[in-house]
Structure 1
């Protein structure tokens, strides 16, 4: 199965602890990620949080299983996503103090079947940029 990787770095006007707290809460992803319209079945076990996010596409709603691994010391949040259609996505977010704010880097790796690859890659990159813009707005 093809694997694609890409990353995006941007700066938000909030300290790393505030950004981390926001990203560590699954409910924050409703609207933060433009496709996520609901989050349910949230379970926390130490540094791991599992939940189901509902992604709304034009003609269907896609339930995805997410496992987040939290590292408050780094600070970092890693999400492993299992989506229907044999699509797997891993997003690792690192936070570094930058002037009066935080430099956020999100590195994404996505595995998808060849038939879906172009669509999945285009959508994942678009969602990443929209999520960065929304996080920047929320942290202003």
Structure 2
């Protein structure tokens, strides 16, 4: 199966610890990732959080809910979160978020590696890139809106 990797770096006017706490909470991903409409079956263990996120895909009036299994680990507390995502159709995605203090804010780098069948490759990569950019915009909006009290 093909493997694709890409990354995106952006800056948020919020402390790394604040971002880390937000991104380490599965419930934060509802709306943060534009496809995620629900999070359920959250299980916390030492150094990891496993849960099921429900992605909703729409095509006009029709929709399809896709349950994905996510395991978040925290290899560098306060600095790095790794999400291992297993989706139906033999789609496997690993997203690593690195947080680095940058003046009064944080430099965020999200690196994504996707493995999937060739037949799904174009769709999966397109969705993953689109979600990555939307998540960056929404995270920035959330952090900066709460900073100003909006």
Q: Does TM, scored on the shorter chain, surpass 0.5?
A: yes
Contact residue 15 and residue 104 of structure 2 kept, 8 A: yes
Gaps of 5+ in 1: none
Contact residue 78 and residue 92 of structure 1 kept, 8 A: yes
Residue 79 of structure 1 corresponds to 83
Contact residue 3 and residue 111 of structure 1 kept, 8 A: yes
Residue 108 of structure 1 corresponds to 112
> Are 1:89 and 2:93 an aligned pair?
yes
Gaps of 5+ in 2: 145-150
Q: Which of the pair has more CA radius of gyration?
A: 2
Contact residue 92 and residue 107 of structure 1 kept, 8 A: yes
Determine the C-alpha separation between the residues in 2 that align with 1:132 and 1:20: 14
Residue 62 of structure 1 corresponds to 66
Residue 42 of structure 1 corresponds to 42
> Are 1:31 and 2:19 an aligned pair?
no
Contact residue 110 and residue 121 of structure 1 kept, 8 A: yes
Deviations 1:95-137 (A, max 9, x none): 0001100000000000010000000000100000000000000
Please list every run of at least 4 consecutive aligned residues from structure 1 whose deviation after the TM superposition is greater than 3 angstroms: 71-74
Determine the C-alpha separation between the residues in 1 that align with 2:77 and 2:69: 25
Contact residue 2 and residue 113 of structure 1 kept, 8 A: yes
Match of 1:137 among 137, 141, 144: 141
Calculate the TM-score normalised by the size of structure 2: 0.91
Structure 1 residue matching 2:118: 3-state secondary structure: coil
Contact residue 10 and residue 103 of structure 1 kept, 8 A: yes
Contact residue 20 and residue 78 of structure 2 kept, 8 A: no
Shift of 1:73: 3.2
Residue 147 of structure 2 corresponds to none
